[in-house]
Amino acid sequence: MTTANAPARREPGRQDWSSWPHYDAAATGFKGYWYPVTWTSKVTGKPSAFTIAGEKIALVRDGGKTYALHDRCPHRGVPLSLGNQQFPGTISCPYHGWTYDLESGKLCAVITDGPGSPICGKVTVRTYPTAQRLGMTWVYIPLGDEEPADIDAQLPAELAENPFVMGGRIEPRSGNWRFAAENGFDEGHAKYLHRTSLWRIFKTMPTWNITRVVPGEGVNRRWIFRVQDEVHWEADFPGVGHWSNKRWWKIRPPKETFNIGNTGKPKRVDPVIERQGFPGFASLAMPGILRIAYPNFIHYEFYVPVDAGRHRYVGVMVNFTEGFQALRFYVKYLGAIRWLFHGDFSAQDAWMVDVTDAPPERLYRPDVSLTAWRKLAEDEYSRRIASS
Amino acid sequence: MTTANAPARREPGRQDWSSWPHYDAAATGFKGYWYPVTWTSKVTGKPSAFTIAGEKIALVRDGGKTYALHDRCPHRGVPLSLGNQQFPGTISCPYHGWTYDLESGKLCAVITDGPGSPICGKVTVRTYPTAQRLGMTWVYIPLGDEEPADIDAQLPAELAENPFVMGGRIEPRSGNWRFAAENGFDEGHAKYLHRTSLWRIFKTMPTWNITRVVPGEGVNRRWIFRVQDEVHWEADFPGVGHWSNKRWWKIRPPKETFNIGNTGKPKRVDPVIERQGFPGFASLAMPGILRIAYPNFIHYEFYVPVDAGRHRYVGVMVNFTEGFQALRFYVKYLGAIRWLFHGDFSAQDAWMVDVTDAPPERLYRPDVSLTAWRKLAEDEYSRRIASS
Amino acid sequence: MTTANAPARREPGRQDWSSWPHYDAAATGFKGYWYPVTWTSKVTGKPSAFTIAGEKIALVRDGGKTYALHDRCPHRGVPLSLGNQQFPGTISCPYHGWTYDLESGKLCAVITDGPGSPICGKVTVRTYPTAQRLGMTWVYIPLGDEEPADIDAQLPAELAENPFVMGGRIEPRSGNWRFAAENGFDEGHAKYLHRTSLWRIFKTMPTWNITRVVPGEGVNRRWIFRVQDEVHWEADFPGVGHWSNKRWWKIRPPKETFNIGNTGKPKRVDPVIERQGFPGFASLAMPGILRIAYPNFIHYEFYVPVDAGRHRYVGVMVNFTEGFQALRFYVKYLGAIRWLFHGDFSAQDAWMVDVTDAPPERLYRPDVSLTAWRKLAEDEYSRRIASS
């Protein structure tokens, strides 16, 4: 006899994330990392509210500095981001004027209890280290009470060492940040899902590849790289049919396999990018930073956890140039890249991230990119909590 | 002393559904039955998504055949209904091109992993038997792995044996399917709730009836019938007042009690309907099929479970006629029945099904129709799971 | 080592409501009290639905009397407020015509089961005592089966003993009723939160006060009063800065401390108000009635619990006058008070009540008003349940 309420049948093969227990538990993000929150130009004297890795945070600028505080007045739980500045270097809760020092988070005055208020100095709201990089304000979400990690050690090394110009988008998105990170580094979907994007309208996408994932070296030792050993532009699937993304209007695909760009062997590679010696087109680092090396620019994605069901997508396109060339990049970015790549193309990813529902899951050969990333996350985070 | 948080006091009398344990547990519907899903004309090569009895199902047409698959790619949980056909006889997940054979549900190609993909043939999505009846696509929701039941044995016998024309409506509705089924067969409400419907504007509704429920015989042995022994057109309620639905503009009610139609003894009954020898006006069968025998047509309702809080209402009006008479029926259906009966009248039922909130409940004499139905459901389903 | 999922750290000091267990448990309101529901003019023969202290209630008027019944037909759970009157002195469920006597709640006729329906008289819906005061319909929510308390003993005594005119607003609001009551009596926020309200545009608000809470006496023994011992109009906060609400366009604050009105010592106090001898400007009584004594009128707020996340705000402005003076009050109320005070000013409170999120909480010196109120509630309710 079978019953009407039998559980969903599990097929053989990997179904869950138990091999990566820290990763499995990190639905709201890993703590102990820096996260980009918003464009620095949007942080003003009027506080703004964000949730990053499950923490409610109020951002406020004062005297040219940016401060991040836990967005909850300990008195009665009112968000401090609803308040404003009554004194320089402070923020006051809108309800009773509890006033906190922006630097230390200490309650330094209680307007409605007078200068002798006995509670002053006895209450502190948590503050978070902030930094400015890539035109954005970053916040460090600590594991415990440790000093913040070096933000530059967390960022791609090539950005610290070379002048560049950039354009980008920050978007709140649905779906867990891990699906966004996995999607970003995912070998398999790019060729198939994005074959219909406007960004690829004249470029043939491969049908299938043979891919390895290798660890980075030197300044890239925190990264893993996807290396394409074979690129196949068409295929005959036995008993099913022929499949190719080749079309008469698309540029003919190249003969050689390549690891910069993914639609053709480039004539010229930007010297800064060439100098990096990236072993592969796509690379990924904790806590969710993707790097895609095109011949003339690098695209970065930062997957910023909000809560278990939402993340912030930060997409940045960088061109290692200066002076008049910078203007050329801005024209190209605003005229095309922003709409085609950070818009239409990236919206296909956002769609899949939103509907992905795993585990359970059944992995296939190209998912080596997913399992390598999960292992990277697990190993790096294990070391981090061991040393904290 | 009494306390502020005392539980709701229970009155004596039946309060819960514990006499019908399977029925009580069937909030998302009984498995092991065929359910109508949508009009066949709406099932095309572009997949569509439905939830039936708690199961997510993708429907797609290919080569004139309709296929139903579990609407979840086992790879990463993306709905297959978001995908499309890349090869004849298959459906491909939009994310990575995992391609399933529509007939067997077997993974037959993985576009992004090439012809030699080792996972091919090792993954299968559940498929559901489909059938076409009454212009609709039906899906069998199995109990376990059993062969589907005979759909025609589940349908009213008169529909298999006689030519007919029909019109109908399919509507997603709020409320549990059991409240919809109970409402459909419910003796008590029809006369009172629907007294204000446009469909009854010139017809007096009875005030109260004496009703029995009897089991069907022969081809109708899966059905129960409501038999009206007495019909009362007015009443004096002691100490409360007089009540009647009689109005000067309404047709005078008949003297005799009758069991075809509910507002008057008909001059002529359609010979096909007469031949059925239905003992009563309304009959009900598992898994939620209502039949209302009017003198010249039969109205059917199918209550299709979606989840615990939603169902699909399928209303069908059938006329046992052919040729030129069929045209007359269509004119009558589209000109009046569709709006007055399947629209306004049925919306009153939808309203009550949405606000019904039981158990707890207190049943009264006419609720013999409810308890007989629950017993029918309990008995038939017990036999079904015992034999599966 | 610290972990990523450490619980929120608790600071020393009071964090929870465990000292007031009944208050803590009263998220949906205290039972055993009268609550104002709606303007009496809005209660008609067509039933209306309200939730008060977690109880669903149907209000209906018949023959000049107002009736309150539990808004659920015991038959199948349909709200009686969807029904209507089929006989004088009754209400009938829309589904099957179960008809209840408005006075007793007894099932007195079942239209669809005829005059001899055996269930008649065996089912009763709960009825609630109603009363009319201040132009509003009040409902008594009992603890158990006790007789209702005397509504006039629950209302401010000055309203029973003096003629008056009034204007008011009833508004559904977000947030728990206890936050609304605490906000109303709260010493601390008024001066700071409301400093920006239009109602105070020409009146300086104090910076901080020294406040005591004292119990009322005589007819006010159910009340507690806030007494202002010192009022400070500016302050220097060491190391932080100077703060004052004084502005060149605002009326200069008075020298003396006062306890009627909160922005200045009045030239003249209404004789009725003066005669009350209120020890303080603001007073509060169970189950959430606030009284603010201005020199020429008294403002009352009733915080009516709906459920754990919603309440009804009832604001009433009373002027102890008659005849031609009444007209002057109405002009003033409709032309200014209604928009500035019951509108803009009160919306600031509604905003804070909505975002308050406690416990945990950290209390400060002025929160003596909160703790005194909680103790009042705890003590009075303990006596009430002990005697019931």
The answer on pLDDT for B2 being more than 50 is: no
The burial of A233, by beta-carbon neighbours within 10 Å (0-12 exposed, 13-18 middle, 19 or more buried), is given as: middle
Helix or strand run (H / E) with residue A56: strand A55-62
Q: How far is CA C109 from the centre of its chain?
A: 38
pLDDT at position B7, please? 41
Decide: helix, strand or coil at residue A177.
Answer: helix
Q: What is the pLDDT of residues A253-287, one digit of tens each?
A: 877 776 666 555 677 889 999 999 999 989 999 99
The predicted model gives A313-337 an average pLDDT of 89
Cα→Cα distances B273→A127, A137, B268, B297, Å: 80, 77, 11, 8
Residues in chain B, how many? 388
Count CB pairs under 8 A between chains A and C.
121
ipTM confidence score: 0.92
Residues in contact with B87: Cβ distance below 8 Å, sequence separation at least 6, in sequence order: A237, A240, A241, A243, B99, B109
Q: What is the pLDDT of residue A265?
A: 64
Least CB-CB distance to C364: which of A31, A87, A113?
A113
pLDDT at C154: 95
Section B208-218 average pLDDT? 94
Q: Cβ of A95 and C193 within 8 Å?
A: yes
Asked if residue C59 lies in contact with residue C117, where contact means CB atoms within 8 angstroms, the answer is no
Kindly report the average pLDDT of chain A as a whole number: 91
Nearest 5°: CA angle at A335, between A331 and A337? 100
> Structure tokens of C284?
């509060």
Q: What does DSSP assign to residue C194? A: G
| Average pLDDT along chain B | 91
User: Amino acid letter at B292?
Assistant: I
- Whether the per-residue pLDDT at B5 is higher than 70: the answer is no
Q: Write down the pLDDT at residue C56.
A: 98
For C253-280, write each residue's pLDDT tens digit: 877 776 666 555 677 889 999 999 999 9
Residues 6+ apart with CB under 8 A from B242: B234, B235, B236
Cβ of C87 within 8 Å of Cβ of B365? The answer is no
Interface mutation vs chain C, best among B183, B262, B355, B363, most C CBs within 10 Å: B355
* Three-class secondary structure of residue B23 per DSSP: helix
- A54–chain C Cβ distance below 8 A for any pair: no
Q: Strand ranges (DSSP E) for chain B?
A: 33-39, 48-52, 55-62, 65-70, 90-92, 98-101, 107-110, 127-128, 130-133, 136-141, 165-174, 208-215, 223-232, 234-237, 241-244, 282-285, 289-293, 298-307, 310-319
- In this complex, which of A77, A87, A108 lies closest to C356 when CB atoms are compared? A77
Sites in chain C below the pLDDT cut of 70: 1-14, 258-265
Q: What is the reported pTM? A: 0.91
Phi/psi of residue A112, nearest 5 degrees = -85, 10
Find which of A23, A87, A90, A113 to mutate to test the C interface (most C CBs within 10 Å of its CB).
A113
Range 167-206 of C in CB contact (< 8 A) with A: 187-189, 191-193
Q: Which of residues 354-383 of C touch A (CB under 8 A)?
A: 355-358, 360-366
- Residue A8 confidence class, pLDDT cut points 50, 70, 90: very low
Q: List helix spans (H) across B155-214.
A: 157-161, 177-185, 187-193
**Beta carbons of B81 and B49 less than 8 angstroms apart:** yes
Model pLDDT, residue C6: 41
pLDDT of A138 reads 98
Contact flag C365-A118 (C-beta cutoff 8 Å)? yes
User: Nearest CB to C114: which of B1, B11, B232?
Assistant: B232
User: What is the rounded CA–CA span in Å between residue A103 and residue A94?
Assistant: 19
Q: Is B327 exposed, middle or buried (0-12, 13-18, 19+ CB in 10 A)?
A: exposed
